[in-house]
Amino acid sequence: MEIFKGIKKIAYEGAQTKNALAFRFYDPERVVLGKKMSEHLPFAMAWWHNLCAEGTDMFGRGTADKSFGEKYGTMEHARAKVDAGFEFMQKLGIKYFCFHDVDLVPEADDIKVTNARLDEISDYILEKMKGTDIKCLWGTANMFGNPRYMNGAGSSNSADVFCFAAAQVKKALDITVKLGGKGYVFWGGREGYETLLNTDVKFELDNIARLMHLAVDYGRSIGFKGDFYIEPKPKEPMKHQYDFDAATAIGFIKNYGLDKDFKLNIEANHATLAGHTFEHDLRIAAINGMLGSIDANQGDPHLGWDTDEFPFDVYTSTMSMLEIINAGGLTGGINFDAKTRRPSYTYEDMFAAYVLGMDTFALGLINAEKIIKDGRIELSRKQRYSSFADGIGRQITEGKVTLEQLSAYAEKMGRPALPGSGRQEQLQEIVNQLLFG
Ligand code: XUL
Ligand code: CO
């Protein structure tokens, strides 16, 4: 039964179309830098925002009806969400989905009942996947919503809560593997603290790592070949979260010997909450060999929280796609961890939001290709470091000089010349020329 009646398959119609439900820039077959757009841009649908979230905020209830004709809190509703999700992805040509355990089924008081529900719904999802090219990008366990996680999951002060979290991770891994998921995410929603007065930070970090090691051991034992991801976020819901940003999460991963199994899932709005640009965190992940997957969205510079808006900022998508291409692409995908604004509550808005997000990334890709093919930016960056190409610079990078030798060199040289212009304005003008010229 069709759920999104009146909404046809979304087609590429080109930049001039006036049709709201058509792609202007995302043409899956178009070849960019030797690869199809659809391969550069492995888009994923987020179960939670798209099929569950109704626009509730701190001041009011939801505006969107996500019942899909069934009663909330029932397995009929859980199935209707699967039907809606698959129809949605097929109409948009999206090949991946991501989920939390409790996005799929209502949580029961007894975990055995919840797990049986997860078995049932994952059977149904598998059935729906057959005959389509839709796959699971990653799964995760929601270890932040229920009150038991008020003090965290891996970082909880309660050993019983730690055990419960472990049970949820186990089941979420089972389902992820069953659905052929490429990755498994840990977003440490409440892995952090409100005050040091009651917190043993070292103990909490050690315990988070323990839970992750247990997850790796179990995941590998059931045949999970994909990547585990940490999704960094500096704050919200906690005042201070341990996985603050890419650099912090990488330090944690290496410190605890998790680097063979873990990469990062970088979310745009989390990077900006940490005071970085999205592309900054992508670069930090990439240079450490840990750029796995991304959660595409954007925040609002005037608001200090995670607004999870659909990406619209083409400068950011351009710079992000440059980072991704320069890193050799993503091993994961581009998950729209984004929600429509509360007054955009219709089915048409759900589709239009994904059209916007997909077109914004397609534009980013098209622009990144222009910048790469033009070559001036890369050349200028290389030239900026040319003093290290030979002479004393080369000896430094080859580790062939001591501090004494460098000191002697400096004394002989006297005062060094200024290091050369950064040319920032000239480079920005080149970007504008390539984007709009
Ligand atoms: C919350 C967030 C999560 C994770 C998965 O800010 O980004 O939805 O992506 O738990
Ligand atoms: Co996210």
Query: Residue 21: how many CB atoms within 10 A of its CB?
Result: 19
pLDDT, tens digit (0-9, with 9 covering 90-100), for 199-223: 999 999 999 999 999 999 999 999 9
SS3 227: strand
Average pLDDT in the 37-51 region? 98
- The whole domain housing 253 covers 31-374
Distance CA 266, CA 422 (A): 28
Query: Are 363 and 251 found together in one domain?
Result: yes
CA dist 141 and 228 (Å) reads 13
- Confidence class for position 101, pLDDT limits 50, 70, 90: very high
d(CA 338, CA 349): 13
Question: How remote is the CA of residue 237 from the centroid of ligand 1, in Å?
Answer: 11
* Cα pseudo-dihedral 21, 24, 29, 33, rounded to 10: -150
Q: In 15-121, which ranges are E strands?
A: 31-32, 35-36, 43-46, 96-100
> Does the annotation count 100 as an active-site position?
yes
For residue 187, the CA-to-ligand 1 centroid distance in Å is 6
Could you tell me if 195 and 282 lie in one domain?
yes
Q: Identity (one letter) of the amino acid at 118? A: L
In the prediction, which pLDDT does 300 show? 97
342-383, pLDDT tens digit by residue?
999 999 999 999 999 999 999 999 999 999 999 999 999 999
Task: Identify which of 8, 26, 168, 161 has the alpha carbon closest to the alpha carbon of residue 99.
Answer: 168
CATH code of the domain containing 303: 3.20.20.150
> What number of other Cβ atoms are within 10 A of residue 390's Cβ?
9
Q: Which two tokens stand for residue 344?
A: 């955009």
Number of domains in the chain: 2
The answer to whether residue 17 is domain-embedded is: no
Confidence of residue 59 (pLDDT cuts 50, 70, 90): very high
Q: Which of 27, 83, 101, 103 is catalytic?
A: 103
| 5 inside domain | no
Average pLDDT, integer, range 4-13: 98
Q: Do 265 and 381 lie in a common domain?
A: no
- The domain boundary, picked from 320, 345, 374, lies at 374
Residue type at position 247: A
Question: What is the value of pTM for the model shown?
Answer: 0.98
Alpha-carbon distance 303 to 57, whole Å? Answer: 15
Domain-embedded: residue 12: no
* pLDDT, tens digit (0-9, with 9 covering 90-100), for 258-289: 999 999 999 999 999 999 999 999 999 999 99
Distance, first Cα to last Cα, the chain: 47
As for ligand 1, residues whose beta carbon falls within 6 Å of it are 100, 140, 185, 187, 231, 233, 267, 295, 306, 337
Assess if residue 16 is contained within a domain. no
Write the DSSP symbol of residue 132.
S
Given this model, what pLDDT does residue 177 score? 98
- Does some domain include residue 7? no
Same domain membership, residue 418 and residue 356: no
Tokens 């608001």, residue?
303
Residue 219's pLDDT is 99
